[in-house]
Structure 1
Amino acid sequence: MEIKIRKMDPSEYELLSDFLYEAIFQRDENNLLPREIIQEPALRIYIEDFGEKKHDHCLCAVADDVIVGAVWTRIIKGYGSIDDSIPEFAVSIRRGFRRKGIGTALMEQMIELLKREGCEKASLAVQKDNYAVRMYQKTGFSIIDENEEEYIMMIDLKENE
């Protein structure tokens, strides 16, 4: 299976609602949250009017002309927000394509894009028991804070040049 990573075309941004739902860490695959959960204000901000803000960037992974993964960043007051100058990551891989290195490749390419854009740092939030914690650490993110359920992670893009 050949995976190509490219910028997501604005005409494809409507797919971000599917990827946002897939990005929600759900421990019990047999008892999934209702899809309407992405309409909650705390989640909706990750995709609402995407592409209209300066630091809205999205890359996607494509296999056989089908988008199977996406990573996007924007400056929002999200779960992993540090301040209003640091873009926050969201990453999502469709079931069946996970644990194949696609997420790592997307993250690495987004990090490079943010560096070219002059961003100095980026952040994200991840559930403590999500296997993706190791992937984020592998791509250069460090835990800088935590709450009961999540780690807040950050990468210093100037240090990782």
Structure 2
Amino acid sequence: MMDTIAFRKVDQKDQRILEGMLYAALFIPQGEPIPPASVVRKPELSKYYLHWGRTGDMGIIAIVGEIPIAACWSRIHPENDPGYGFVDEYTPELTIAVKDGWRNRGLGKGLLSRLCDDNRSAGFKSMSLSVDKRNPAQNLYNRLGFKIVAENGTAYTMLKSLQPVKIS
């Protein structure tokens, strides 16, 4: 029997799901110790899910039955408390997680494409993200039009324009 994947928008009751998905989104290079799940409660990480429902918050969760298997969400961070992929106060920063066992099935690409469409429809001109230089997900971001705009230690900040391409 094939698993049926359903999609729904993230809402305020999903804060715990986003917390778990943020942990799944962490890139741990091979050979490095796996941090405890509580690491996502640190202020520099919890800002990605706490108080969900602020202006500009958008996201999509993929579920099988009642079990979340993937999520892609974005939020705007203020300049005085920027995220890792911060560009400015007008650019939503995205987070994406696909749980083990569900990767390499096109789920991340589908979620990311939907979230880009939602942000474009909401009037945002671009989206940003932070990715570890060693993370193979960087290839997906490149294919979907994200460009490296900054380098910070072991990570890149990438930006994708949501503006329509003008063909002359």
Report the TM-score when normalising by structure 1: 0.92
Q: CA deviation at 1:6?
A: 2.2
- Please tell me whether the aligned partners of residues 40 and 46 of structure 2 are also in contact (alpha carbons under 8 angstroms): yes
Q: Compare 8-17 and 77-86 and name the one that shifted more.
A: 8-17
Q: How big is the alpha-carbon RMSD for the aligned residues of Structure 1 and Structure 2?
A: 1.7
What stretches of structure 2 of length at least 5 have no aligned partner? none
CA distance in 2, matches of 1:115, 1:154: 14
CA distance in 2, matches of 1:155, 1:30: 30
**Residues 87/134 of structure 1: CA separation in 2 closer, same or farther (3 Å cut):** same
Q: Compare 19-28 and 110-119 and name the one that shifted more.
A: 19-28
Partner of 1:95: 100
Q: Alpha-carbon deviations, 1:70-105, whole Å to 9, x = none?
A: 011001110000011110000011111111111110
Give the secondary-structure state (helix, strand or coil) at the position aligned to 1:20.
helix
Q: Compare 109-118 and 56-65 and name the one that shifted more.
A: 56-65
CA distance in 1, matches of 2:90, 2:55: 11
- Please tell me whether the aligned partners of residues 140 and 160 of structure 1 are also in contact (alpha carbons under 8 angstroms): no
What stretches of structure 1 of length at least 5 have no aligned partner? none
Q: Compare 119-128 and 141-150 and name the one that shifted more.
A: 141-150
Partner of 1:22: 24
- Please tell me whether the aligned partners of residues 15 and 51 of structure 2 are also in contact (alpha carbons under 8 angstroms): no
CA distance in 2, matches of 1:100, 1:129: 21
Q: Does 1:54 align with 2:59?
A: no
Aligned length: 160
Percent identical pairs in the alignment equals 29
Give the secondary-structure state (helix, strand or coil) at the position aligned to 1:136.
helix
Q: CA deviation at 1:26?
A: 0.9
Q: CA deviation at 1:10?
A: 2.9
- Please tell me whether the aligned partners of residues 15 and 50 of structure 2 are also in contact (alpha carbons under 8 angstroms): no
Report the TM-score when normalising by structure 2: 0.88
